Structure 1
Amino acid sequence: MTKSGSPEGRSPSQLIDGRIEELGDWRGEMLSRLRGLIRQADPEIVEEWKWRGVPVWEHAGMICTGETYKNVVKLTFAKGAALPDPSRLFNSSLEGNTRRAIDFQEGEEVDEEAFKALIHAAVALNKSRARR
């Protein structure tokens, strides 16, 4: 699911598609793969484009952002510190009280089931906080 109304006249999903294409290397492939896993985990996810070029996935609040750097694709979970992570996917931004991130490097394998479980947990946390 996407929201419309971006200032560029394109939907957030179209802008994310463009980012993936413009990267044209392993980072685009990784971002595309992670995006697909997020959508599989939660078909009701909403894609946004914020802060002048950051893909964001939301459901009852922010789930995560997807940033690309020279050596990593970083997914930062807005409420990651409150999420269970039995597979120890979080490997970055571990010192904070709120956020947690996963840095994916070139050639790195993705534990798809653990990743989808993390997305499910983030959605459940957002929904539980929304009910309060």
Structure 2
Amino acid sequence: MAKTESPAKLIDGRIRELADWRGKTLAKVRALIKTADPDVVEEWKWRGVPVWEHDGIICTGETYKSAMKLTFANGAKLDDPSGLFNASLEGNTRRAIDLHEGDKINEKAFKALIKAAVELNTGKKKKKT
């Protein structure tokens, strides 16, 4: 793909290229992210990783043979009452959600996590007054 293509077109291409459950999962997650944050900016970094940003990285969407990994840049600072984070739990900064074929994502909880990451990035964490 040409370097002049927009990140959105590159992500579209990745979804088509995967042509299996990973492509469908990437498309679904992407739609949920855009619904949760209509102002999200899509990027394409590190030799082909979809990245969603809003005043900083919200999360990345890496695809592997048997999994799709959604890594939240500041996931350790986010409340995860539904327990979506199931990978990279030992670090002080990042947290990840590994999805495998057949997994269902809790859409409501995922969108809440996206919104919380945006609030953290924008400094709009609700302050008690």
* Bin for the TM-score computed over the shorter chain: over 0.9
Query: 1:103 & 1:93 partners in 2: Cα distance?
Result: 9
> What secondary structure sits across from 1:125 in the alignment?
helix
What is the total number of aligned residue pairs between the two structures?
Answer: 124
> What secondary structure sits across from 1:14 in the alignment?
helix
1:127 maps to what in 2? 122
Query: 1:110 & 1:7 partners in 2: Cα distance?
Result: 33
> What secondary structure sits across from 2:47 in the alignment?
coil
- Residues 76-115 of structure 1: matches in 2 within 5 Å? 76-115=71-110
1:3 maps to what in 2? none
- From 113, 122, 125, the counterpart of 1:118: 113
Query: 1:21 & 1:7 partners in 2: Cα distance?
Result: 16
Query: 1:7 & 1:61 partners in 2: Cα distance?
Result: 25
In the alignment, structure 1 residue 11 sits paired with structure 2 residue 19: no
Deviation at 1:7, TM superposition (A): 6.4
Query: 1:18 & 1:88 partners in 2: Cα distance?
Result: 31
Query: 1:50 & 1:59 partners in 2: Cα distance?
Result: 15
Q: What is the percent sequence identity of the aligned residues?
A: 67
Query: 1:23 & 1:84 partners in 2: Cα distance?
Result: 32
| Structure 1 residues without counterparts, runs of 5 or longer | 1-5
Deviation at 1:17, TM superposition (A): 0.3
Deviation at 1:83, TM superposition (A): 0.2
- The runs of 4+ residues in structure 1 deviating greater than 6 Å are none
2:52 maps to what in 1? 57
Deviation at 1:52, TM superposition (A): 1.0
| Structure 2 residues without counterparts, runs of 5 or longer | 125-129
